[in-house]
Amino acid sequence: MTDRTPPVLRPEHPQARPLAGLLEEFGLTAQGSSDGVEISGVTLSTADLHPGDLYVGIRGANSHGASYAQAARDGGAVAILTDAEGAGIAKDAGLPILVVPSPREALGEISAWVYRTAERPPLLFGTTGTNGKTSTSYLLEGILRQLGLVSGLSSTSERHIGDLSVVSRLTTPEASEMHALLARMRESQVRAVAVEVSAQALSRNRVDGIVFDVVAFTNLSHDHLDDYADMEEYFQAKLALFEPERAKRGVVSLDTAWGQRIVDAARIPITTISATAGVDAEWIVTIDDERAAYTEFTVTGPEGRSLTTRVPLIGWHMAADAALAIVMLVEAGFELEAIGHALDEHDGIVAYLPGRTERVSGEHGPSVYVDFGHSPDAFLNTLAAVRKFTPGRTIMLFGADGDRDASKRLEMGRVAADGSDILVITDHHPRFEDAASIRKVLIEGALLAEHQPQILEVSPPEKAIRAAVALATEGDSILWAGPGHQDYRDIEGVRTPYSARDEARAALREAGWA
């Protein structure tokens, strides 16, 4: 990582708590004296360390975090939380050491105690699923603002605290960062928070110590099989959000078969929703009108209650995400009529989703969309949405992540080829993989497609977008999938400054399109 790594948002006026109180609360003992020691924060990283922090040393892939105990002390840490191995490593740091079997499993509850996040919490909404988590979270936050609430957001793209916005590091931050963020939100009088909850967040204890008021499931499709043995294990990770220890109520989309499995296995009250014809759900989403500037839809629920509105995005899947957000609010106690009134005042939902089918082109020339989608299912839905508003040819440009789920690459290539007239395969985040080898597999996948477009291989992506624009004419559309909102490329562990949006606009200008 470089100095481009986004900051951790913490409370500006932390309230210190005595280490002795933490020991008593959790039944722990300390190696070394806890007398007079007060903790005002929690961190896993010396790079994010503040004076007064409890430094948490966790065994990593290559080293143990306790190896940095001396650096933590020099940076102002006042105590260390670690396991038995870490205690041995950190014993000479001269700080009180708290030993637990698994520091990661203890991190959420301890961070919640330090930051007091269970005291006067805001309404908490959590969304999980393969695709649609970010869209649902942004749309939910947008509606909350239209309802007049000071809102917060934690997503793949950004963290919001009212009008403050910073770029995100992870889809869901580490538990210590999550609780620090919630404490900062409390300082800012935030009343409701939309949180994007990844499978990894659930598997790696990142939302421990949080009980959501309403959680939602969007869908499940092929992704993250570098982290999970198979789709069943991936599903079980998502299912963990629908336990009473994590949430009070749930809203589940039945648009994939996995949704019914969530309903059958959940241990909290569940409401169902679907945008698929013929599916028996409590809330039904119908598409009323589709334009290049918006999608109009109606969501109809029990007792014939309904709401018709617009989302400023293309594609039925975006309307489905917006409807899911609306039903989450209803489950949290908001009146459907009040939501409808707030939306009518602005002729629909007001929300900006960075890098989600984001049009970056002007009034004339080809339409260029930048999107964050990086799975076969995301390609399928977004290509279909773009094609619907493209009188000419659909040009697809994409690459694949290095050092991530390689099992989806063939299918990504096949789906991209099937849905496009011209396919440009390039690089994305190669990380420590050979970029040419990644492109080779994507091309192999594209050649499996029933429909065969013109296929080009162009590297690096700066050249690829210019090649795509050079091929495009008035009425054509270019969908650049993968980079979305991101402002860097990961090349051999270095975050190299890079913006697909800026590159696309530059390519259009160079080609003579205003």
* CA–CA gap between residue 49 and residue 42 (Å, rounded): 8
Task: Give percent above pLDDT 70 in the chain.
Answer: 98
Report domain extents, the chain: 17-111, 123-344, 358-510
Quote the CA–CA distance of 3 and 321 in Å, as a whole number.
34
Q: Which residues pair with 457 in a beta bridge?
A: 425
User: What does the alpha-carbon distance between residue 293 and residue 411 come to, in Å, rounded to a whole number?
Assistant: 30
What is the distance between the alpha carbons of residues 401 and 340, in angstroms, rounded to a whole number? 40
Closest CA to 314 of 336, 298, 292, 332: 292
Would you say 435 and 427 are in contact if contact means Cβ atoms under 8 Å apart? yes
pLDDT of residue 5: 65
Helix (H) / strand (E) element for 456: namely: strand 454-457
Q: Specify the CATH number of the domain 123-344.
A: 3.40.1190.10
Who contacts 264 (Cβ-Cβ below 8 Å, separation ≥6)?
A: none
Other CB atoms within 10 A of residue 256 CB: 20
pLDDT value at residue 169: 67
Distance from C-alpha of 80 to C-alpha of 299, rounded to nearest angstrom: 51
What is the distance in angstroms between the CA of the first residue and the CA of the last residue of the chain?
A: 36
The CATH fold of domain 17-111: 3.40.1390
Q: Which residues of the chain have pLDDT under 70?
A: 1-6, 169-171
How is residue 47 written in tokens? 């790079």
Task: With CA atoms as reference, report the closest residue to 386 among 290, 263, 457, 242.
Answer: 290
pLDDT, tens digit, 9 for 90 and up, residues 134-146: 999 999 999 999 9
- Name which of 439, 510, 498, 437 is nearest 468 in CA terms: 510
Question: What is the model's pLDDT at position 1?
Answer: 38
pLDDT recorded at residue 487: 87
Query: The domain 358-510 is classified under which CATH number: 3.40.50.300, 3.90.190.20, 3.40.50.620, 3.20.10.10?
Result: 3.90.190.20
Tell me the C-alpha to C-alpha distance, in Å, between residue 409 and each of 376, 388, 421, 489.
8, 25, 19, 19
CA atoms within 13 A on the CB side of 32: 18
Helix (H, G, I), strand (E, B) or coil at 273: strand
Q: What is the mean pLDDT of the chain?
A: 95
CA 166 to chain centre: 14
CA-based torsion, 194, 200, 203, 209: positive or negative: negative
